[in-house]
Amino acid sequence: MAKTWHKYGWLYLIVGFIFMAFVFVLSLCMGQYHLSFSEVINALFNGDNGETANNIIWKLRLPRLLSACFIGVALAVAGIIYQNTFQNELASPDIIGVSSGASVGIAWGILIGLPLIAISFLGFVLGVLAMGLTLFIARLFKNKSMTILIISGVLVSGFMGAVVSLIKSMADADTQLPNIVFWLLGSFASVTMEQTIIIMIVVSICVTFLYCISGKILNNIALGEEQARSKGVNYKLWRIIILGFATILTALSVSIAGVIGWVGLVIPHIARLLAGHTTQKSIPLAILFGGSFMMICDTLARTLTTSEIPVGAITGFFGIILFIAILTFKKGQKYGID
Amino acid sequence: MKLTKGVEMKNKVVISIICVVVVIGASIGLYLGLRNTNDKPVNSVTITDMVGDTVTVKKNASKVAVLARSAVDMLVAFGLGEKVDGVYYTVLNNEWAKTIYPHSENYFAYDYDTTVETYLARGVDLVIAPEKYIADNLREHGITAFTVSQYGTPNYDDSVFAFAEIIKKIWEGNEIKTKINEWENEFTAIKDEIILKLATIQTTQSLYYVRGDKNKGIRYTENSEKTIQNTIAKYLKLNYVSKDFTSSEPTAEVLLSTNPDYIFVGGAFQNTIINNIRTDSIWSGLSAVTNDKIFNIGVGFVMFEQNGVELSIYLADMANKIYPDKFNFDITQMLKDSMQKYFGKTISDNDATNMLNGKKANGENLA
């Protein structure tokens, strides 16, 4: 299917963009509070619908939708980067301990009663520190293979998971514990417009950078150290830079919306199915699909019942179905390699 | 689609620059749009809630979502039950709630993670939250909310009347103020009498409180010196042992080594838990078990050990049970009077006894 890119590449992008825009507009009109399309447009551009409608659009739906979209983009692109860099198509953004590190920050922040913005910041910092710890442990083994880095990531994730369990055991069972559990399952319920703006800017810069290096550098890094060097790419330096940017995307996502699984695993597969392994083609598709997928999941999370459903549960539900569909579609092919 | 590398790179850079410029432009637009939605409250009052947050609240709020369980008791008791739109769902699981205040059957069942749009769709103009993070989140999204906490800072000593005083500020009306003042006077009188009579007693005995709102057995408590239980224990010259625990679920060995002299059990599961404590041999060596000093805590509209109007009855009941030679409050009559005065409900002696024993009106366990 990836071979059709030469023929239909632009068509995929155009259809993907139209679909994303459609999902955005539809999601903006959906919610527990009924607002007609004209009321939504009025609230967006005129602000003369009354206080409630304006609040719903500007303080609830718009920040959530934009955050969901950009975090979907961040996780999908981070997924492509990790899968490429680790030469492992089952790699996902939480593979080097970033998600579990950020989870510790979030759980700790809730336990000590920090304000929302400080909880997110702590999550982000510990997510990045966890990645540093993974790299440090990998160096202790004095083995440059990617497998060692993945094993270090598993160790750090396990350690951070234990810390989260410890924090949960200390949390108030009625109030703090449900909040920790709910946040770690993923939710955009607490996202504010200020956070959204930060997400938009950081994700745009990181994804733009990764897209700009998507040709020669990303593709050659995916071939391994020897081949990358033979093609004039400073493997060690670029690997750190690339993983650094992917880590920022992941840590930011977890610190704002909790651990949202499957997006970073499934979306890169769909993008590669259509665009092949060259990242300059798969990244734009992952942007469009990741953003759309997350917006759909979050809209379901906030509209299906009067209570919030963890968005991680919905991405898991659809992610597994999509993954099975992909595996079925790829049946007969050598898995993971075109 | 096959492009030369130079052209491809140029295209990528151009597309990237356009994307970043669009996103930054959109961010500025969103920020300006958000600023335009900041509303100026009309006919409002500014209060400081129980966690120190200053919140501007609509005066005489008419549709209130009460997630803080104890808060609904005071609102109904002080004549504001009609202003309540809904409560935390577990309040409605208690049969006494609809017996004492039948209108509560119309209340919506809220949860801590109810969507913000649900509040807006129901026209809620105030949310009373049990935790700061819930109130913070709602305020961030344009809903007025403040916190009524079960914890005080640095302890609960000065927080007993905090919510009642907030009610006075938000809702006008002499009847409300009169009821609040009377309740505060009642509590103060009982507290002062207890403190006076126990003035010469040294704190040597200990109290352990079991949270029985969940069926977690004896090892579930309130583990902070900020709790109302700690303050009540101080009035009664008891050492509240749970305040030093690092977790709300201490290990069996910690509990055994603490060896409390008195165990008080509240909540819907209290009778099941008390029965387990008395029959499970592991606890047979505890002083409270050996000396049969395990007591029920009453359950009415809410659990008596929470900060509701029944708090004064809870305090008097504990004083009777711990110091039977010093106190003889008529708890049954106090409860009947309280139900009549605050909820307009006439209850029988049998009802009062069942409430005080944490049972349903028919004498069965609450859960």
ipTM metric: 0.72
Q: Tens digits of per-residue pLDDT, B286-317?
A: 999 999 999 999 999 999 999 999 999 999 99
The pLDDT assigned to B359 comes to 96
Q: Taking CB atoms and an 8 Å cutoff, what residues of chain B touch A110?
A: 133
CB-CB neighbours of A239 under 10 Å: 19
Q: How far is B265 from chain A (nearest CA, A)?
A: 17
B196 CB within 8 Å of a chain A CB: no
Residue B3 pLDDT class (50, 70, 90 cuts): very low
What value does the mean pLDDT take over residues B96-121?
A: 93
Element (H, E) at A230: helix A225-230
Q: Rounded distance, CA B338 to CA B347, Å?
A: 10
- Phi/psi for B66 (5° steps) reads -115, 100
Q: How far is A60 from chain B (nearest CA, A)?
A: 6
What value does the mean pLDDT take over residues A214-242?
A: 84
Q: Tens digits of per-residue pLDDT, B314-355?
A: 999 999 999 999 999 999 999 999 999 999 999 999 999 999
Q: Taking CB atoms and an 8 Å cutoff, what residues of chain A touch B111?
A: 307
The pLDDT assigned to B156 comes to 93
Compare B193 and A121 and report the one with higher pLDDT: B193
B3 CB within 8 Å of a chain A CB: no
The mean predicted confidence, pLDDT, of chain A is 87
Residue of chain A whose Cα is closest to the Cα of B114: A307
B13 CB within 8 Å of a chain A CB: yes
Compare A219 and B191 and report the one with higher pLDDT: B191
Helix (H, G, I), strand (E, B) or coil at A24: helix
B44 CB within 8 Å of a chain A CB: no
Of A9, A201, A215, the CB nearest to B1: A9
Look at residues A158, A120, A146, A151 and name the one whose alpha carbon lies nearest to residue A252.
A120
Contact between residue B102 and residue B80 where contact means Cβ atoms under 8 Å apart: no
* A19 pLDDT above the threshold of 80: yes
Q: What percent of chain A has pLDDT over 70?
A: 95
Burial B156-184 (b: 16+ CB within 10 A, else e): beebbebbbebbbebbeeeebeebbeebe
Residue B38 pLDDT class (50, 70, 90 cuts): low
Q: Rounded distance, CA B141 to CA B144, Å?
A: 9
Q: Taking CB atoms and an 8 Å cutoff, what residues of chain A touch B132?
A: 113
Residue A177 pLDDT class (50, 70, 90 cuts): confident
Domains of chain B: 44-173 (3.40.50.1980), 176-356 (3.40.50.1980)
The burial of A181, by beta-carbon neighbours within 10 Å (0-12 exposed, 13-18 middle, 19 or more buried), is given as: middle
Q: Tens digits of per-residue pLDDT, B114-123?
A: 999 999 999 9
Interior angle at CA A187, CA A184 and CA A190, nearest 5:
110
**Would you call B112 and A59 a contact, using CB atoms and an 8 Å cutoff?**
no
Contact between residue A137 and residue A154 where contact means Cβ atoms under 8 Å apart: no
The pLDDT assigned to A307 comes to 86
**Would you call A32 and B121 a contact, using CB atoms and an 8 Å cutoff?**
yes
Domains of chain A: 2-329 (1.10.3470.10)
Compare A120 and B135 and report the one with higher pLDDT: B135
Lowest-confidence region among A135-149, B63-77, B86-100: A135-149
The pLDDT assigned to B295 comes to 97
The pLDDT assigned to A234 comes to 87
The pLDDT assigned to A249 comes to 93
Residue type, A235: Y
Lowest-confidence region among A31-40, A175-184, A328-337: A328-337
Q: How far is B112 from chain A (nearest CA, A)?
A: 8
Could you give the count of Cα atoms lying within 13 Å of B321 in the half-sphere of its Cβ?
A: 24
- Phi/psi for B37 (5° steps) reads -95, 0
Helix (H, G, I), strand (E, B) or coil at A233: coil
CB-CB neighbours of B19 under 10 Å: 16
Of B1, B13, B20, the CB nearest to A6: B1
Residue B5 pLDDT class (50, 70, 90 cuts): low
A255: which 2 tokens? 């610190």
Compare B87 and A56 and report the one with higher pLDDT: B87
Residue B65 pLDDT class (50, 70, 90 cuts): very high
What value does the mean pLDDT take over residues B154-183?
A: 95
Q: How far is B24 from chain A (nearest CA, A)?
A: 6
Q: Rounded distance, CA A119 to CA A143, Å?
A: 36
Q: How far is A113 from chain B (nearest CA, A)?
A: 8
The pLDDT assigned to A337 comes to 41
**Would you call B34 and A204 a contact, using CB atoms and an 8 Å cutoff?**
no
Residue A314 pLDDT class (50, 70, 90 cuts): very high
Q: Tens digits of per-residue pLDDT, B225-277?
A: 999 999 999 999 999 999 988 888 888 889 999 999 999 999 999 999 999 99
A37: which 2 tokens? 């399309």
* A44 pLDDT above the threshold of 60: yes
Q: How far is A158 from chain B (nearest CA, A)?
A: 23
**Would you call B214 and A173 a contact, using CB atoms and an 8 Å cutoff?**
yes
Of A170, A200, A308, the CB nearest to B27: A200
What value does the mean pLDDT take over residues A128-137?
A: 89
The pLDDT assigned to B304 comes to 95
B142 CB within 8 Å of a chain A CB: yes
Residue of chain B whose Cα is closest to the Cα of A198: B27
Plot region of A118 (φ>0 → left; ψ -120 to 50 → alpha; else → beta)? alpha
A61: which 2 tokens? 């739906």
- Within 8 A by CB and 6+ apart from B196, the residues are none
Q: Rounded distance, CA B93 to CA B81, Å?
A: 17
B346: which 2 tokens? 């006439």
* A99 pLDDT above the threshold of 80: yes
* A216 pLDDT above the threshold of 70: yes
Identify the DSSP state of B134: H
The pLDDT assigned to A236 comes to 84
Q: Rounded distance, CA B319 to CA B325, Å?
A: 10
Residue type, A195: Q
**Would you call B113 and A308 a contact, using CB atoms and an 8 Å cutoff?**
yes
- Phi/psi for B4 (5° steps) reads -70, 155
Residue A49 pLDDT class (50, 70, 90 cuts): low
Q: Tens digits of per-residue pLDDT, B174-230?
A: 999 999 999 999 999 999 999 999 999 998 899 999 999 989 999 999 988 999 999
The pLDDT assigned to A140 comes to 87
Q: Rounded distance, CA A81 to CA A79, Å?
A: 5
Q: Which residues pair with B56 in a beta bridge?
A: B46
Q: What stretches of chain B show up as alpha helix (H) in DSSP? A: 5-36, 69-77, 89-93, 95-100, 116-121, 132-140, 162-170, 174-197, 228-235, 252-258, 270-279, 287-290, 311-322, 331-343, 349-356
* A3 pLDDT above the threshold of 70: no
* B32 pLDDT above the threshold of 90: no
Q: Taking CB atoms and an 8 Å cutoff, what residues of chain B touch A32?
A: 115, 117-118, 120-121
Identify the DSSP state of B364: S
Residue of chain B whose Cα is closest to the Cα of A206: B20
